[in-house]
Amino acid sequence: MTSTKKTAISRRSTLGLLGGAALAPAVLPGLSGFAQAQSSAPIKIGFQLHRTGIGAAYGRWYERTSNAAVARINEMGGINGRPVELVIEDDGTDPKRGAEVVEKFATQHECDIGFGTLFSHVVYGSAPRAGELKLPYFVCSEGHHVASGALNRYVLQPGITDVKSQVQAMAPFVADNLGKKVTMIFPDFAFGHDHRDFFSEAIEAQGGEVVAKIAIPPTETSFTKYFPQIPRETEVIYHVMVGPAVLTFVKEMGEFFGPSRPEIFGFIDSLEAVDLSSPGLEFLEGTYFWEGNPRYAQADQSDHDKAYRAAIGIDDNGASLTDSADVSTYAHMFSCWETLNVIKRGMETAGYQGPADRVKLIEAIEDMTDMAHSDDHPQGAKLFNGKTHQVFGHQYISQVEEGRLNVKHTTAIEDGFYEDEVDYTAQSF
C-alpha cells in the first residue's frame, strides 16, 4: 500500500483525529432535547440487515450494536442537532433482495444513506443500485470488493479492514510459527474467494504454499466428506467458514483428525456466535484464530472496550449480560459502531442537512485519514484511504487456552498496506 501510505502522511498534518466521547446510557431522547438545527426531522439511516438467511447470527448482533451506537449518538445531541433514526429492512442475506432493499431506502423510506451490509455477495448485488440511485452506501463487510475498484464512488468501507489486508498482515505469523504447507477450507462465494486468492499470494511471499484449496457451499450442513481431500503433507489447516452450520463444521473436523492433527489457523468466522465451551470443541485447544476484535476481555483491556461492551450489554466473555449462552459476533460487529461514528463525523464536517449534501458527505469522508483509538473506535486506531474508500487497522491473532481466546500477536496497521487499485476520488458522482 505504498501509495496509500504516502497519501495518508501528506494529509495527516492538516486533518484532526477522530476523537472519542464518553459513552452514555442507551436512551433515545425526544426531539426537544436537540439543539436548534435547520430541520428537526431525523436523519434516516437505512439499515440493511441480515435478519434472516445465512447471515442471521451476525444480523442479530449487528442490530444490537447499531441500536446502541445510535442511542449514544442521540444522547450526545444527534448529528448537526438532529436525531438519528435507523430504518431497518431485512435482505435475507440475499443479493437480489439486497438491491430491492437499497431501492426502498432511496425511494420509499427517503433515507439519507444506506448502511450495514456484511456478506460480500449481498454487497455485490446491492452496490450498483446504490450508485444508480446516488445513495451513499456504507458497508460493514470484509471483502476486497470496495478497495478493488469493482464498485462505485457511493460505496465506502470505513469501519472494518478487508480480507486482503487481514491475510497479508497475518501470513508472516502463520509461516514463522505454524508451517508453510497449507490447506485452505473456505466458503464458495466472493468472501471465500478473497481468502483463497489473497492468502495464497501472502503465504507464497513468505516462502510457503497452499497445497490444497477446498471450497464448500455456504449452505452445506455436513462436512466430513471434504476432509479426506486434505493432503498428507499439510502442515497447517486454514479454515474460514460462515453460516448456521459452523459449529458442525468445527466438530466434524475434530472428529476426523482425533488427537493427531496438523496445526490449525482459523478465522473466527468459523466460530462466531458459538460458545467455545460447546461439547466437541475440546480439540481446538492450542489452535489459533484471527479476530477482528478480541471476544474475551484481555488483561490489557482498554477503557474504550469496557465502555463499548457496557453500552451493548456484553460481558467479559463476549456474551450477552442477560444470557451467557447468547454469544456475540464480537470480531465483526464493531464495524457497525465505528462506521456510524464515521458517518457522524462526516456529516458534521460536511454540514449535512439533507440528500442535496450527499456529495459533500462522501467528499468529507474521503478526506479523513487517522482514526484514533477512542470510544468512537474501540477496536483500535485506524487509517482511512480516501482514494480506495477502505480503512486499515490492527489484526489480532489469538490462541485457544483453557477454553478462551488469548491474544498472542497484534499486527501493526502498516502490515496490511497494499498498493492502491483504484482512485474513486477521480470518478464523477
My answer on whether 157 and 20 are in the same domain is yes
In a domain, 423, yes or no: no
My answer on whether 147 and 206 are in the same domain is no
Helices 330-350 and 358-366: angle between axes, nearest 10 degrees: 120
CA angle 365, 371, 373 (to 5 degrees): 150
My answer on whether 147 and 191 are in the same domain is no
pTM higher than the cut 0.85:
yes
In a domain, 309, yes or no: no
My answer on whether 46 and 123 are in the same domain is yes
In a domain, 76, yes or no: yes
My answer on whether 185 and 258 are in the same domain is yes
With a CB cutoff of 8 Å and minimum separation 6, the contacts of 314 are: 320, 321, 328, 330
What span, in angstroms and rounded, lies between the C-alpha atoms of 103 and 100? Answer: 5
My answer on whether 175 and 150 are in the same domain is no
* Domains contained in the chain, number: 2
Helices 95-103 and 120-133: angle between axes, nearest 10 degrees: 30
**Per residue in 256-300, pLDDT tens?**
998 889 999 999 998 999 999 988 889 899 999 999 999 999 999
User: What CATH number is attached to the domain comprising 81?
Assistant: 3.40.50.2300
My answer on whether 42 and 170 are in the same domain is no
My answer on whether 25 and 53 are in the same domain is yes
Phi, psi angles (nearest 5°) of residue 137: -130, 110
My answer on whether 115 and 169 are in the same domain is no
**Parent domain of 112:** 15-161+330-392
My answer on whether 240 and 228 are in the same domain is yes
In a domain, 171, yes or no: yes
Per the listing, cell 493427531 goes with: 260
Helix (H, G, I), strand (E, B), or coil: what is residue 323?
A: strand
- pLDDT tens-place values along the chain, 429 residues long: 444 433 333 333 333 333 333 333 333 444 445 555 566 899 999 999 999 999 999 999 999 999 999 999 999 999 999 999 999 999 999 999 999 999 999 999 999 999 999 999 999 999 999 999 999 999 999 999 999 999 999 999 999 999 999 999 999 999 999 999 999 999 998 889 999 999 999 999 999 999 999 999 988 999 999 999 999 999 999 999 887 788 899 999 999 998 889 999 999 998 999 999 988 889 899 999 999 999 999 999 999 999 999 999 999 999 999 999 999 999 999 999 999 999 999 999 999 999 999 999 999 999 999 999 999 999 999 999 999 999 999 999 999 999 999 999 999 999 999 999 999 999 999
My answer on whether 32 and 125 are in the same domain is yes
CA angle 203, 204, 208 (to 5 degrees): 75
My answer on whether 275 and 337 are in the same domain is no
